[in-house]
Copies of this chain bind each other. A is one copy, B any other.
């Protein structure tokens, strides 16, 4: 095999073999062990991409629906949209406002400011009947904790991106988005920078954390048990960062 060290190259590894995550589990340890088992280890400058599902499980953000008492409003909305009222109750508790409810879909703005279906409340990839996961309360903080703990245990400085799969305006299909970020600037601002021909770029700011999230989904999939990916070789701007930087204030949103 020819290896050309000058090639601009990124590798994305999917970490298999992470056991079922339970409340209180130390995700950093599980991630380090899985990376070691696969022979890739974690290295300085890696970006560790973690599905919100395992973060929520570790943080106990999992709810049995039979413990939920729906409000009158939840009952009505559930009937209108043909959904489980207990699920709708949780969707409403996790929402700042309803963006649209129609055809059996409820799109909300979550307490964090993300716009997505069902406030991120989700039934998939959880063991047990009628159990759902909620998004982490503060996904940036979740990312920061995993990052700090990896540094503590393994002595390496990684960035961490917590992701969830959302639909989009104008486009069919969902993609992975960054909902929590630590250790990288989520945006690369090219405004004022010269392009390869000396033209000053005007309106370009790249949401690199969202692109990393999308890239990681390519190895994670929805039905394989790969809740964590390691992105190696990415040139990114270090910094604490926050996924909140990726939330567009409504007043400045021209895309809807």
Chain A residues engaging chain B, CB cutoff 8 angstroms:
2-4, 6-14, 16, 38-40, 99-100, 102-103, 105, 107, 114-115, 117, 123-127, 165, 167-177, 186-187, 190, 193-197, 199, 201, 203-208, 210-212, 214-215, 217-219, 222-226, 231, 234, 245-248, 252-256
- The minimal Cβ–Cβ distance linking A50 to chain B, given in whole angstroms, is 16
This protein's copies in its complex: 2
Q: Which residues of B contact A190 (CB under 8 A)?
A: 222-223
Residues in B neighbouring A2, C-beta threshold 8 A: 39-40
Q: Which of B102, B125, B169, B186 is A168 in contact with, Cβ under 8 Å?
A: B169
Please determine whether A9 and B8 come into contact, CB atoms closer than 8 angstroms: no
Q: A14-B8, A204-B174, A255-B107 are in contact. Are A234 and B247 (CB under 8 A)?
A: no
30 contacts between A and B (CB under 8 A): A8-B14, A8-B224, A9-B11, A11-B11, A105-B203, A115-B170, A117-B203, A124-B199, A125-B197, A126-B197, A165-B204, A167-B254, A167-B255, A170-B256, A171-B207, A171-B246, A171-B248, A173-B205, A173-B207, A174-B205, A174-B206, A175-B211, A190-B223, A194-B223, A201-B223, A211-B217, A212-B218, A214-B214, A215-B215, A215-B218
Q: A4-B39, A99-B255 in contact; A171/B165 too (CB < 8 A)?
A: no
A210 in contact with B173 given A4-B38, A39-B2, A255-B107 (CB within 8 Å): yes
Main secondary structure of the interface of A (DSSP, over half): loop
Contacts of A6 in B (CB 8 A): 38
